[in-house]
Amino acid sequence: MDYQKILEDIYQEILPYSKDGKQADYIPALAKVNPDQFGMCLETVTGEIFTHKQADTRFSIQSITKVFTLAMCLSIKGEALWKRVGKEPSGTAFNSLVQLEVEKGIPRNPFINAGAIVLSDILISELENPEEEFLSFVRALCGNDEIDYNMEVALSEREKGYLNAAIANMLKYHGTIDNDIERVLMFYFKMCSVEMSCRELAKASLAFTNHSPFEYAGYKLSKSRIKRLNAVMQTCGFYDEAGEFSYLVGLPGKSGVGGGIIAVYPHRYSVAVWSPRLNSKGNSVMGMKALELLTTYTEESIF
């Protein structure tokens, strides 16, 4: 399979969509990002790496971080984790307050904001230095000790994080989080602010291709739990557009409002794509198109 040519052909085909959508301007720091950028990287389980355009440009990974957080929490809590958060598709926006209220403070899944805030609370309770240990885990996954938080982005999110604050308060009201609300929110915003490139994200995501159990920075996941993490990515990784992504792409994946998307083909490869312009659901316009064409051209999907 000539993946390099496929990446190049994909980019040419999606160029007509290059001005569709807009970056996440409700986060002031992200509003300053040049929206006319694109990067893509695919890494196979045998170590071959294929890149196109700005695959080495770092960006705020935002909700992609929730995959790493879930992996840590599964390692620590195991199946007991699902008593605190569900694993069903949300069918609503990633920051829905209504759904959380109706369901009495139990988030529908770990990838919506409410679910990720609960996971942040768990890590604060379980770890002596959660900020440092989270970074250590991500750095170990991608093999790069330079990965770090972008505090400008984190503080920008906190400044305008009224809805997330409302979610955290509702979680606290229902007893779903244990720690101080401000402590939990700042840790959540810091994790979302982590900056990585497509190359680094593809490397980090390779751990979830379900080809063997793993241990990184002391966190262990069995093959069975990697399979389950893939299942949650498949059904919940794109908020209320998860069905569309499954239909068009057919891979487990996770998006972020920084414009990044990761996806994995079990036993074969991981891929990361980045383009800041988002559709109305908060997913990268060109990123979604690129991954749809990837599985179309290669005829490789889980379906």
> What is the tens place of the pLDDT at every residue in 149-178?
999 999 999 998 899 999 999 999 999 999
Q: What is the pLDDT of residue 210?
A: 78
- Distances in Å between the Cα of 70 and the Cα atoms of 13, 226, 244, 266, 302 are 34, 11, 23, 18, 22
Q: For residue 54, what pLDDT is reported?
A: 98
Residue 204: closest CA among 59, 87, 78, 41: 41
25 has pLDDT over 90: no
Q: Any idea of the CA torsion for 81, 83, 88, 93, to the nearest 10 degrees?
A: -90
**Cα 41 from Cα 21, distance rounded (Å):** 22
Q: Give me the pLDDT at residue 1, please.
A: 87
Q: Report yes or no: 88 and 108 within 8 Å, Cβ to Cβ.
A: yes
pTM over 0.75: yes
Q: 287 near 63, Cβ under 8 Å?
A: no
Res. 239 pLDDT band, cuts 50 70 90: confident
Closest to 192 (Cα-Cα) out of 158, 228, 160: 158
Query: Buried (b) or exposed (e) across 273-291, using 16+ Cβ within 10 A?
Result: bbbbbbbebbbbbbbbbbb
Condensed to tens digits (0 to 9), the pLDDT of residues 102-112 reads 889 999 999 99
**Residue-wise pLDDT tens digits, 171-199:** 999 999 999 999 999 999 999 999 999 99
What structural domains and CATH numbers belong to the chain? 3-298 (3.40.710.10)
Return the number of other C-beta atoms located less than 10 Å from residue 97's C-beta: 17
What average pLDDT does the chain have? 95
pLDDT at 92 over 90: no
* Terminal-to-terminal C-alpha distance of the chain: 19
pLDDT > 90 fraction of the chain, expressed in percent and rounded: 90
Cβ(127)–Cβ(187) below 8 Å: no
Residue 21, pLDDT above cutoff 90: yes
